Amino acid sequence: MMAEAAATDWIEWNGGECPLPRRVEVRYRGGYEQMRAVENSLDNTDWLHLPSDPEGDIIAYRVVSA
């Protein structure tokens, strides 16, 4: 069960202000993934789920070990 949790350590994201002040890997509605540094470098609209660019919405994230 612990190995299964490690393999699926994505946290679903339903929109809102960015929750983390660290590096994360994010998954977008458009199907791609990207490593991102959260400290003021993410466009907050990615986290908010605005209707103007739904493919760019972050739908899941996971914390990257430092």
pLDDT one-digit tens code per residue, 30-65: 889 988 776 644 556 677 787 887 888 889 988 886
pTM above 0.95, yes or no: no
Considering its fold, how many domains does the chain have in total? 1
State the greatest distance between any 2 C-alpha atoms of the chain, in Å, as a whole number: 39
Half-sphere exposure of 23 (CA within 13 A, CB side): 5
d(CA 16, CA 4): 28
The closest alpha carbon to 17, from 56, 46, 52, belongs to: 46
The closest alpha carbon to 22, from 39, 46, 42, 41, belongs to: 39
Q: Are 9 and 57 in contact (CB under 8 A)?
A: no
| Residues spanned by the domain of 51 | 2-63
